[in-house]
Amino acid sequence: MIRHTVVFALKHKPHSLEEKRFLADAKRILTAIKGVTHFEQLRQVSPKNDYRFGFSMEFADQRAYTGYNDHPDHVAFVRDRWIPEVEAFMEIDYVPLGL
Protein backbone atom coordinates (compact mmCIF):
# COMPACT_ATOMS: atom_id res chain seq x y z
CA MET A 1 0.00 0.00 0.00
CA ILE A 2 1.16 3.54 -0.77
CA ARG A 3 -0.32 6.57 0.99
CA HIS A 4 0.14 9.66 -1.16
CA THR A 5 -0.12 12.97 0.73
CA VAL A 6 0.37 16.58 -0.19
CA VAL A 7 0.06 19.76 1.86
CA PHE A 8 -0.39 23.02 0.01
CA ALA A 9 -1.37 26.67 -0.03
CA LEU A 10 -3.56 28.12 -2.75
CA LYS A 11 -3.09 31.50 -4.42
CA HIS A 12 -6.78 32.21 -3.82
CA LYS A 13 -8.14 34.20 -0.89
CA PRO A 14 -9.34 32.06 2.04
CA HIS A 15 -12.98 30.97 1.74
CA SER A 16 -13.27 32.47 -1.74
CA LEU A 17 -15.36 30.98 -4.52
CA GLU A 18 -12.13 30.15 -6.39
CA GLU A 19 -10.82 28.21 -3.39
CA LYS A 20 -14.09 26.27 -3.08
CA ARG A 21 -14.12 25.50 -6.82
CA PHE A 22 -10.54 24.23 -6.74
CA LEU A 23 -11.27 21.88 -3.83
CA ALA A 24 -14.53 20.63 -5.34
CA ASP A 25 -12.96 20.06 -8.74
CA ALA A 26 -9.94 18.31 -7.22
CA LYS A 27 -12.17 15.88 -5.35
CA ARG A 28 -14.36 15.20 -8.38
CA ILE A 29 -11.45 14.69 -10.78
CA LEU A 30 -9.00 12.81 -8.57
CA THR A 31 -11.46 10.40 -6.96
CA ALA A 32 -12.71 9.35 -10.41
CA ILE A 33 -9.27 7.97 -11.33
CA LYS A 34 -9.06 4.20 -11.02
CA GLY A 35 -6.96 3.03 -8.09
CA VAL A 36 -7.57 6.01 -5.79
CA THR A 37 -8.95 4.90 -2.41
CA HIS A 38 -9.48 6.61 0.95
CA PHE A 39 -9.30 10.11 -0.54
CA GLU A 40 -9.47 12.91 2.03
CA GLN A 41 -9.32 16.68 1.82
CA LEU A 42 -7.97 18.19 5.02
CA ARG A 43 -7.59 21.65 6.49
CA GLN A 44 -4.14 22.15 8.01
CA VAL A 45 -4.38 23.78 11.46
CA SER A 46 -0.85 23.80 12.82
CA PRO A 47 0.71 27.25 13.33
CA LYS A 48 4.10 25.71 12.49
CA ASN A 49 3.71 26.11 8.73
CA ASP A 50 1.87 28.17 6.13
CA TYR A 51 0.17 25.34 4.23
CA ARG A 52 -3.62 25.52 4.45
CA PHE A 53 -4.84 22.22 2.99
CA GLY A 54 -3.90 18.61 2.59
CA PHE A 55 -4.93 15.74 0.35
CA SER A 56 -4.42 12.14 1.35
CA MET A 57 -5.19 9.05 -0.72
CA GLU A 58 -4.15 5.43 -0.85
CA PHE A 59 -3.16 3.03 -3.61
CA ALA A 60 -3.00 -0.75 -3.42
CA ASP A 61 0.51 -0.90 -4.86
CA GLN A 62 3.12 0.85 -7.00
CA ARG A 63 1.33 -0.12 -10.20
CA ALA A 64 -1.88 1.61 -9.06
CA TYR A 65 0.07 4.69 -7.95
CA THR A 66 1.95 4.89 -11.25
CA GLY A 67 -1.33 4.50 -13.13
CA TYR A 68 -2.73 7.46 -11.18
CA ASN A 69 0.32 9.65 -11.81
CA ASP A 70 0.28 8.88 -15.52
CA HIS A 71 -3.50 9.07 -15.95
CA PRO A 72 -4.52 11.78 -18.46
CA ASP A 73 -7.02 13.32 -16.00
CA HIS A 74 -4.32 13.65 -13.32
CA VAL A 75 -1.82 15.08 -15.80
CA ALA A 76 -4.42 17.61 -17.01
CA PHE A 77 -5.39 18.55 -13.44
CA VAL A 78 -1.77 19.25 -12.53
CA ARG A 79 -1.17 21.24 -15.71
CA ASP A 80 -4.44 23.19 -15.80
CA ARG A 81 -5.30 23.68 -12.15
CA TRP A 82 -2.49 22.71 -9.75
CA ILE A 83 0.37 24.63 -11.35
CA PRO A 84 -1.60 27.86 -11.94
CA GLU A 85 -3.48 27.86 -8.61
CA VAL A 86 -1.14 26.36 -5.98
CA GLU A 87 1.31 28.74 -4.37
CA ALA A 88 3.45 26.19 -2.49
CA PHE A 89 3.29 22.50 -1.64
CA MET A 90 5.10 19.54 -0.18
CA GLU A 91 4.40 15.98 -1.26
CA ILE A 92 5.12 12.93 0.89
CA ASP A 93 4.44 9.32 -0.05
CA TYR A 94 4.48 6.59 2.56
CA VAL A 95 4.57 2.81 2.66
CA PRO A 96 3.92 0.85 5.87
CA LEU A 97 7.04 -0.22 7.74
CA GLY A 98 5.66 -3.67 8.42
CA LEU A 99 7.30 -3.90 11.83
pLDDT at 30: 98
Q: What is the CA angle 55-57-63, rounded to 5?
A: 135
Average pLDDT of 30-43? 97
Residues 6+ apart with CB under 8 A from 3: 56, 57, 58, 93, 94, 95
- How many domains are there within the chain? 1
Contact 96, 14 (CB under 8 A): no
Q: What's the CA gap between 68 and 51, in Å, rounded?
A: 24
Instruction: Specify if 72 maps to a domain.
Output: yes
Contact 77, 14 (CB under 8 A): no
Instruction: Specify if 7 maps to a domain.
Output: yes
Domain range holding 51?
2-89
Instruction: Specify if 58 maps to a domain.
Output: yes
pLDDT tens digits, 44-81: 999 999 999 999 999 999 999 999 999 999 999 999 99
Average pLDDT of 76-98? 96
What are the residues facing 58 on neighbouring strands? Answer: 3, 37
Instruction: Specify if 99 maps to a domain.
Output: no
pTM recorded for the entire structure: 0.90
Instruction: Specify if 27 maps to a domain.
Output: yes
CB atoms within 10 A of CB 31: 12
SS3 at position 24: helix
pLDDT at 99: 81
The CATH number covering residue 34 comes to: 3.30.70.100
pLDDT at 65: 97
Instruction: Specify if 95 maps to a domain.
Output: no
Instruction: Specify if 64 maps to a domain.
Output: yes
Inform me whether the pLDDT recorded for 98 exceeds 90: no
